Amino acid sequence: MPEPYDVITMGRIGVDLYPLEVGVPLARVETFGKFLGGSPANVAVAAARQGRRTAVITRTGQDPFGAYLHQELERFGVDPRWATAVAEYPTPVTFCEIFPPDDFPLYFYRRPKAPDLEIHAPDLDLDAVRDARIFWMTGTGLSAEPSRSATLAALRARSESAERADRPGAPRRTATVFDLDWRPMFWDGGDDSPEAPARYREALAHATVAVGNVDECAVATGEREPYAAARALLAAGVELAVVKQGPKGVLAVHRDGTTADCPPLPVEVVNGLGAGDAFGGALCHGLLAGWPLDRIVRYANAAGALVASRLACSSAMPFPDEVEEALAAGAVTADLASRAASGVAAAPETPTSSGSPSAPGAPGAGRAPAAAPAAPAAPPAGPDAPTAPRTGAGS
């Protein structure tokens, strides 16, 4: 039997075209950096940076941008075998504006339809999905067919085979994670979509972990107060509810009564986009390692803060030594913030899981994104900024 993946993510992918000029309106920006984007893709990269064996189920256009995304997945050590091309639709691109510390508008170009919404249930490798130690899906995958049916089929495969985890020799599964990932522009009806809450409830019944900011929790549960939202997520069926509160930090509540309410790590924010995905990859790493809940959340908070200190998303994802250094310092130092550009820190010598996909870039590859410009001083930043509709998801 093939070695199970540590993390398989499913859903959105695209090209991020981010300004290399901070504080400049998009209409006046002259230079851009090109990066792999899309929340599930970024989470897979973030987990790979932690030494985990990862893959992503997604689709791109059959075009040069699609080829670029396949190359980037391989470079970052993410297995691209289930990232297939769709001839009918172009690869999505996303632009943003960068106004630190908390204003990062996103502009999505996913028309007439994004290829990643053309994932079909019969094409899924359900054995790999069932056996993965963590399966990570997002709310956006529920927004349209056939992606919606495919995502729910993957979730049902996970929950219906739960007994397999108790059989001798069966793969040791850790979590099925629902990233609430609320993007109203992707749903019919937008913020008033009558379908989204019902689809979220359907997915929550199959998930064991739910992760979202306050706005996303409100869509899923109708509750905005963090503790009430966490209780509602637990009542919907998950075992662990993680509520991101921006500058107030992160609340995590487990069904067994364990609670972690962790403040954010102080950081001078450059770009809050991608911080939530770094948090997600680090959350997976901590869950796989079996750490106590408080340690998992503090570690994930630090990973998110590191990405917030840098310009890019995927290429800014931190390595374990960087996260530990930030935790030891009690803040993201200027030196740590600059390492994404300089490539100072070394990749971990020994992965924290056995095996890695056969790709040119194993975990630890790709330490040289565009340099992050200096940013003004800012208050502590959590994995989701308070005023942005969904900071931390890349695109």
**Degrees to nearest 5, angle at CA 357 with 317 and 300:** 30
Q: 311 vs 98, 179, 232, 393, CA distance in Å?
A: 9, 23, 35, 14
DSSP string for 243-301: EE-GGG-EEEEETTS-EEEEPPPP---S--TTHHHHHHHHHHHHHHHT--HHHHHHHHH
CA dist., res. 159 & res. 129, Å (int) = 11
Q: 104 vs 127, 248, 313, 315, 356, CA distance in Å?
A: 39, 19, 13, 18, 34
**Is 251 buried (19+), middle (13-18) or exposed (0-12) by CB count in 10 A?**
buried
* Whole-number average pLDDT of the chain: 88
Residue 357 has pLDDT above 50, yes or no: no
Q: 212 vs 205, 276, 327, CA distance in Å?
A: 16, 9, 23
Residue 382 has pLDDT above 90, yes or no: no
Q: How confident is the model at residue 343 (pLDDT cuts 50, 70, 90)?
A: very low
Q: What share of the chain is helix, strand, coil (3-state, %, to 5)?
A: 40, 15, 45
Residue 55's pLDDT is what? 98
318 or 364, which is more confident: 318
Q: 197 vs 221, 250, 390, CA distance in Å?
A: 8, 23, 17
Q: Could you tell me which residues come within 8 angstroms of residue 62 by beta carbon, excluding any fewer than 6 positions away?
A: 85, 86, 87
Only one residue has tokens 């670029």, namely 68
Q: How confident is the model at residue 169 (pLDDT cuts 50, 70, 90)?
A: low
Report residue 257 CA to chain centroid gap. Answer: 26
392 or 171, which is more confident: 171
Residue 189 has pLDDT above 90, yes or no: yes
Nearest CA among 292, 300, 285, 309 for reference residue 378: 309
Residue 24 has pLDDT above 90, yes or no: yes
**Do 46 and 277 form a contact (C-beta atoms < 8 A)?**
yes
pTM: 0.87
CA dist., res. 135 & res. 388, Å (int) = 27
Average pLDDT rounded to a whole number, residues 271-287? 97
Q: How confident is the model at residue 161 (pLDDT cuts 50, 70, 90)?
A: confident
Residue 241's pLDDT is what? 98
Across the strands, what pairs with 213? 244
**Do 155 and 203 form a contact (C-beta atoms < 8 A)?**
yes
Residue 63 has pLDDT above 50, yes or no: yes
